[in-house]
Structure 1
Amino acid sequence: MPFALHLLALAVFAQGTSEFMLSGLGPGIARGLGVSLPVAGSLTSAFAVGMVVGAPLMAILGLRWSRRGALLAFLLVFLGVHVVGALTGSFAVLLGTRVVGALASAGFLAVALVAATDMVAPEAKGRATSVLLGGVTLACVAGVPAGAWLGQLWGWRAAFWAVALLAVPAVVGVLHSVPGGRGPVVKGRPHETVAAGGGVRGELRALRSPRLLLTLLLGALVNGATFCSFTYLASVVTRVTGVDDMWVPAMLALFGLGSFAGVAVGGRIADTRPVPLLAGGGVALLVGWVLFACTAAHPVAAVLLVLVQGALSFAVGSTLISQALYAAVGAPTLGGGFATAAFNVGAAVGPWAGGVALGAGLGFRSPLWVSAGLVALALVSAGVGWRAWPENFRSGSTPVRVR
């Protein structure tokens, strides 16, 4: 994999850390800025909404620039708003920086997904996607706990400074290592580029593909299942499994380690055997959530399933993102934007659905059952789509292949 791809992953790591680290910084922000904890929690919602709305809009904006120019612009804005956030004494300003930072993150990831796949051979999109999304999983393993630790030692502003500093080497790397072309690389001619789908209208027409729309739906459902259980994992392991609070960070890190392993292994299979990976992995994911819900009271089973479900969730989820890019061959930039949006729709809807189940008094296992239901819905949707539009899944310049 090209070195520039790892620099993009570093930027994604910084952005993933920024997105998730507020889960450990909320109390400090509330005290420091004189607001209630629920008001401080709105910073997380603002970032999620910015990611969902910003992905397609920023991808359209990025069509006007070279890939290098778009990545630099988004990354510099992301860096700048974290400096402002670290300095401000106003909650309103901090809220505004979260929205702008989310827009920049969404735009960066949308363009980075396309740039990453352009750096490798046409049949290696899955592996390139897995390297890029490895930054997200590492953020869960290391970035979020480190942000919480910095917040405890030196206050919440220290975490914002750390994220800004992480973005600096990524800026330098993008400037010197990322190719500057606009369009996708032509197979067999790695230094030439082509028009990316005939502009915005051309790319929007390409997004009508049933294969692409179904893949985006599946990505949202699977990611919704992932973040539903991840969001409430602390409650599950303390209230149902009986694990002491001090072990919660270790359980979260274990889920993150599984996620990293799933992305790494899935990326090596996604380009050659995507259908078996998605079908087998999807069924295993469903069975795993059901088993977790049924055996959550047993510590050994809970520990094993936290690791396994993390791996399966991100192996299937990252493969769906790479398949969205394969399906969006006529809309390379907006395809990345809508894949990013679908990923974040799941990240917002899944925890909301789990919260509804908890609020209805269904017990602390209920988020696990919600995750199982979302994966089951994804499997049913995939089966219906495959039978309804078989020609759309067997055609195209970059089809899904099974060996």
Structure 2
Amino acid sequence: MLLISLLALFAVGYAASALAWNHSSLIVARFIGGLPHGAYYGVACLVAATLVGDDKKAQAAGYVMAGLAAANVIGVPVATWIGQLMGWRVTFGALAAAGAISMALFWYFIPTIPKDEAASPTAELAGLKRIQIWLTLATASIGFGGMFAVYSYITPTLTEVSGFRIEQVPMVLALWGLGMIAGNLIGGRLADRALVPAIFYIMAWNVVFLAFFSLFSASSIATLATLFMVGCGFALVPALQVRLMNVSGNAQTLAASLNHSAFNISNAIGASLGGWAIATGWGWASTGWVASILAVLGIVLMSISVGVERIQRRKSA
């Protein structure tokens, strides 16, 4: 029911956007449409994990996040095409209709999940006292920021450094999106086999291929291969999602939602530091070096998390 309610808020926000009469009303409507984002994906991952066994929780979260990646590959170009053909109001109206259809599909296909009797607002907020929640969120906020350092300035890098024409950029970004889909699916499987090692392996992958973006951005062919590999680094998303679920105790819903807030923070951090590197005069391709450093810092934070966890286990033993 909560998922359907969040989708309803999404649909209302986008319907209001389609009917906006001035800039201020559009801003308010867009704010309403964006409110359920973090909660929706967090709860959706929890529901998906509940529907499968414990050995497939990360795969379930990966499927949910692969849908987000697929939306970037398919949904964004389609929405852009609709807007160019029929206007922006039709685009927002179509998204509102998609939200309504999704509500019906959820009601029909998704079974009712029994209420967790241990869950309560007090228990959720009490979860914020858990150091592991904050360390995992910090890992996501810092360690994943490199993705957005590169992505925020990808168009000028592709056209000014890699030699692509502006009309070729959407196809290049679609390749990145395919890597995101593959990463979410593969990352879920890796995390179900060995969660913590998978997180370290994926972050090490990101350190290497984000650096490769700077090293090989002058070659169009190498850039294509590197961007697909960078997209695969989104395997970190379902892995960290399950990590949060495992360390959050009775604060499952809040922790799952905060995970996506952490990724939004990483967006701001990555874009800001990438912009600073460019403004300093290091060039468009320097975002890869910034990204790689952020991924290294993510490994450091995750190492601290694991170290603290071991100390806590020894004390409890």
> Per the shorter chain, which TM-score range?
over 0.9
Q: Give the counterpart letter for 1:194 in structure 2.
A: E
Q: Secondary structure at the match of 1:365?
A: helix
CA offset at residue 395 of structure 1?
A: 10
CA-to-aligned-CA distance 1:128-175 (integer Å, 9 cap, x gap): 111111121011111111122122211222221221122122111222
**Corresponding position of 1:170:** 102
TM (normalized to structure 2)? 0.93
**Corresponding position of 2:85:** 153
Distance 1:238 1:388 in 2: 45
CA offset at residue 182 of structure 1?
A: 5.4
Q: Summarize the alignment of residues 144-223 of structure 1 with structure 2, pairs less than 5 Å apart.
A: 144-181=76-113, 183=115, 193-196=116-119, 199-223=120-144
Distance 1:180 1:146 in 2: 32
Distance 2:51 2:230 in 1: 30
Q: Give the counterpart letter for 2:285 in structure 1.
A: R
Q: Secondary structure at the match of 2:218?
A: coil
CA offset at residue 356 of structure 1?
A: 2.3
Q: Are residue 357 (structure 1) and residue 247 (structure 2) matched?
A: no
Q: 2:12 aligns with which of 76, 80, 92?
A: 80
**Corresponding position of 2:191:** 270
CA offset at residue 388 of structure 1?
A: 4.0
Distance 2:106 2:154 in 1: 36
Q: Secondary structure at the match of 1:302?
A: helix
Distance 1:393 1:298 in 2: 49
Q: Are residue 232 (structure 1) and residue 164 (structure 2) matched?
A: no
Contact 1:211 1:393 in 2 (8 A): no
Q: Secondary structure at the match of 1:297?
A: coil
Q: Give the counterpart letter for 1:329 in structure 2.
A: G
**Corresponding position of 1:335:** 255
Q: Secondary structure at the match of 1:120?
A: coil
The range that moved more, 172-181 or 229-238, is: 172-181
Contact 1:215 1:320 in 2 (8 A): yes
Distance 1:330 1:395 in 2: 21
Q: Secondary structure at the match of 2:129?
A: coil
Distance 2:312 2:172 in 1: 41
Q: Give the counterpart letter for 1:374 in structure 2.
A: L
Distance 1:125 1:394, change over 3 A: farther
Q: 2:236 aligns with which of 308, 313, 316?
A: 316
Q: Are residue 95 (structure 1) and residue 18 (structure 2) matched?
A: no
Distance 2:53 2:239 in 1: 17
Give structure 2 stretches of 5+ with no counterpart: none
Q: Summarize the alignment of residues 245-394 of structure 1 with structure 2, pairs less than 5 Å apart.
A: 245-312=166-233, 314-392=234-312
CA offset at residue 391 of structure 1?
A: 3.7
Distance 2:152 2:14 in 1: 24
Distance 1:217 1:395, change over 3 A: farther
CA offset at residue 293 of structure 1?
A: 0.7
Give structure 1 stretches of 5+ with no counterpart: 1-67, 184-192, 397-403
Distance 1:274 1:107 in 2: 23
**Corresponding position of 1:142:** 74
CA offset at residue 108 of structure 1?
A: 2.1
TM (normalized to structure 1)? 0.74
Distance 1:122 1:393, change over 3 A: farther
Q: Give the counterpart letter for 2:291 in structure 1.
A: S
CA-to-aligned-CA distance 1:263-319 (integer Å, 9 cap, x gap): 01111221122223222221121011112111110112111000001012x112221
Distance 1:214 1:75 in 2: 30
CA-to-aligned-CA distance 1:63-96 (integer Å, 9 cap, x gap): xxxxx1x222221121112111112231101100
CA offset at residue 253 of structure 1?
A: 0.5
CA offset at residue 250 of structure 1?
A: 0.7
Contact 2:146 2:210 in 1 (8 A): no
Q: Aligned residues, how many?
A: 316
Q: CA RMSD in A?
A: 2.0
Distance 1:250 1:209, change over 3 A: same
Contact 2:49 2:56 in 1 (8 A): yes
Distance 2:12 2:59 in 1: 31
Q: Are residue 105 (structure 1) and residue 28 (structure 2) matched?
A: no
Q: 1:132 aligns with which of 57, 64, 67?
A: 64
Distance 1:342 1:392 in 2: 24
CA offset at residue 255 of structure 1?
A: 0.4
CA offset at residue 201 of structure 1?
A: 2.1
Distance 1:394 1:240 in 2: 52
Contact 2:213 2:288 in 1 (8 A): yes
Contact 1:106 1:340 in 2 (8 A): yes
Distance 1:211 1:306, change over 3 A: same
Distance 1:275 1:360, change over 3 A: same
Q: Report % sequence identity.
A: 29
Distance 1:163 1:206 in 2: 35
